[in-house]
Amino acid sequence: MLGLMQDWPLRCHRIIDHAALFHANREVVSRSVEGPIHRTTYAAIRTKALKTAQALEAEGIRVGDRVATLAWNTGRHLEVWYGILGCGAVYHTVNPRLFPEQIAYIVGHAEDRVLFTDLTFVPLLEKLADKLPTVERYIVLTDAAHMPQTSLKNAVAYEDWIAGFDGDYAWKEVDENAAAGMCYTSGTTGNPKGVLYSHRSNVLHSMAALQVDMLGLSSNDVVMPVVPMFHANGWSLAFGMPMAGSKCVMPGAKMDGASIHELLESEGVTCTAAVPTIWLMLLQHLEETGGKLSTLKKVVIGGSACPRAMTKKFQDTYGVEVIHAWGMTEMSPLGTLCSLKPAYAKLTGDARLDVQEKQGHPPFTIEMKITDDEGNPLPWDDKTFGRLKVRGPAITSSYFKGEGGEILDEEGYFDTNDVGTIDQEGYLRITDRSKDVIKSGGEWISSIDLENLAVGHPDVAEAAVIGIAHPKWDERPLLIIVRKEGREVEAGDILDFMKGKIANWWMPDAVAFVDEIPHTATGKIQKTTLREQFHDYKFTDA
């Protein structure tokens, strides 16, 4: 017997509809790519999104077609985002920081028909254009006054392009499971793989992300998403802000410490979110200038592990609460946030920081488990670490065009390829990537824990740990070190420094010194390259 409730499909356009009605005049403030600060409202964003949808349809874009954006966080990007999904097409945010050949691969693989770009990326695209055969038209997110001369196919200034439309458009009434958005993973191996979000997954994800113990956004918040909309579905903020009615502050192309600080203060930002690198720049700027954070209450930090010192600095010096977060492009992307539940809420000092080093707990709609290599569940005891697997309505079931094949286990869980522990309160701590964990005598050693420990040595600039084949133990850790300029530190010094801080059997068997450690386009250590480099390495005593 079915319930007798209304059929109201979860479509993303309803979010901007809600904002335009109930938070109509709430501001969306952008540092425009052209320079000046630009102010608009949710009601106006919706009107321009409707025009975008109309114009795309006039362009021949149909339900399910992919439309790319190569753009910074601005109000225009938000208009285009809703315009694309509102006409039934699929917004495909492309990361401009990828290598040009990766961009070409992604745009081609997605078969993007139209590409919206910021002025910034016109030169890049001009060079790349002959490798982008699927793109029929380039739309530059600017007005006629700022439109450059360009060789890009059918190029037009965005404001001119929508000027002829009146916005009298009815959003396409697609199935709630229809594709709405797309983002490619920046995997460290192989080609990027496309994750295809549905209207339903985006709506449910945003409703879960807004819960008090998660992002906890309200209509009284002023939110600055520094994390780009092209990074992992923009951490869902393009949906969450209008759904909650939060004022939105978009940093545009400028993410240096001074520019971010200026907007935080001038717009009264209460909540912001980005990767640690951004916050390092901000904290450095504040230290140099003696600046304060007078309105900011909460900073969400994810993308990579948030250093303890950063959490401490934000909280103790600037009075800003840090919410450590973990997610994946495949998870829409938020997985866990480290808000403090009652068992931890009263902790202070180091005990509090100990908890905040964890990535936190998931909202309702996300299920987690940790397992051994055979898929057997492991205990939540804060010590045992296992392969982290997740299930939920906003988690990938497969990649675009079937790349990577079957990716769910028998119970329907997605293997994150992360390895972690879960404590008794359900807090996750990511300890490694599963392919980077060192498997020694049936036990696992976290390469990340060893790296974090090693970089604590004052003479070490960067550290990486990889597993080297070992006849007795299967694998043993090799510590690879880049010395700080002019320092003379030797293997024994570093190992002595580490001794006693970890279990003895975790101690690296050897230390190798290199001039440089290879990185991916997004700044992660490229362990595959390291493993190739040290392919023939042998421990002297093995």
Could you say which residues in the range 328-357 bind a copy of itself, by CB under 8 A? 332, 339-343, 345
In the complex, what is the shortest distance from the CB of residue 213 to a copy of itself, in angstroms, rounded to a whole number?
5
- At which residue do the structure tokens 């965005």 appear? 158
Q: Is 444 a catalytic residue?
A: yes
Amino acid (one-letter) located at 311: T
In the complex, what is the shortest distance from the CB of residue 414 to a copy of itself, in angstroms, rounded to a whole number?
7
Among positions 6-25, residues that touch a copy of itself (CB under 8 A) are 6-8, 10, 14-15, 18, 21-25
8-state DSSP, 307: P
78 or 281: whose CB is closer to a copy of itself?
Answer: 78
Catalytically annotated residue among 439, 462, 522, 528? 439
* Interface pattern 107-136 for a copy of itself (x via CB under 8 A): ------------------------------
200 or 457: whose CB is closer to a copy of itself?
Answer: 200
In the complex, what is the shortest distance from the CB of residue 241 to a copy of itself, in angstroms, rounded to a whole number?
12
Token code pair at residue 158: 């965005």
103 touches a copy of itself by CB under 8 A: no
Residues 6+ apart with CB under 8 A from 4: none
* Interface pattern 430-469 for a copy of itself (x via CB under 8 A): ----------------------------------------
- Give CA–CA dist 364/342, Å, rounded: 17
Q: Which of 455, 380, 386 is nearest to 425 (CA)?
A: 380
396 or 447: whose CB is closer to a copy of itself?
Answer: 396
DSSP conformation letters of 28-43:
EEEE-TTSSEEEEEHH
Which of 208, 454, 466, 511: binder of a copy of itself (CB under 8 A)? 208
Q: Which of 104, 139, 141, 143 is nearest to 119 (CA)?
A: 141
Backbone angles phi, psi at 264, to 5 degrees: -55, -45
Which of 39, 123, 133, 177: binder of a copy of itself (CB under 8 A)? 177
8-state DSSP, 204: H
298 touches a copy of itself by CB under 8 A: no
Q: Is 439 a catalytic residue?
A: yes
Which of 414, 444, 473, 506: binder of a copy of itself (CB under 8 A)? 414
484 touches a copy of itself by CB under 8 A: no
CB-CB contact of 463 with 481 (8 Å): yes
CB-CB contact of 507 with 498 (8 Å): yes
Among positions 221-250, residues that touch a copy of itself (CB under 8 A) are 243-245, 247
390 or 463: whose CB is closer to a copy of itself?
Answer: 390
In the complex, what is the shortest distance from the CB of residue 320 to a copy of itself, in angstroms, rounded to a whole number?
18
Q: For 89, left (φ over 0), alpha (ψ -120 to 50), or beta?
A: beta
Q: Is 330 a catalytic residue?
A: yes
5 touches a copy of itself by CB under 8 A: yes
In the complex, what is the shortest distance from the CB of residue 225 to a copy of itself, in angstroms, rounded to a whole number?
17
- Give CA–CA dist 308/355, Å, rounded: 10
- Give CA–CA dist 191/105, Å, rounded: 8
Q: Spell out the long-range contacts of 495-499 with Cβ–Cβ below 8 A and sequence spacing 24 or more.
A: 497/454, 497/456, 497/457, 498/450, 498/453, 498/454
Which of 81, 400, 444, 506: binder of a copy of itself (CB under 8 A)? 400
- Give CA–CA dist 198/178, Å, rounded: 5
Q: Which of 157, 111, 118, 155 is nearest to 135 (CA)?
A: 111
The partner residues of 390 in beta bridges, in order of sequence, read 368, 414
363 or 508: whose CB is closer to a copy of itself?
Answer: 363
Sign for the pseudo-dihedral over CA of 301, 302, 303, 306? positive
Catalytically annotated residue among 444, 451, 475, 506? 444
Backbone angles phi, psi at 173, to 5 degrees: -90, 70
151 or 266: whose CB is closer to a copy of itself?
Answer: 266
398 or 529: whose CB is closer to a copy of itself?
Answer: 398
Stretch that binds a copy of itself, among 97-105, 140-148, 190-198, 305-313 (CB under 8 A): 190-198
393 touches a copy of itself by CB under 8 A: yes
Would you please indicate which residues are annotated as catalytic (active-site) residues?
A: 185, 330, 439, 444
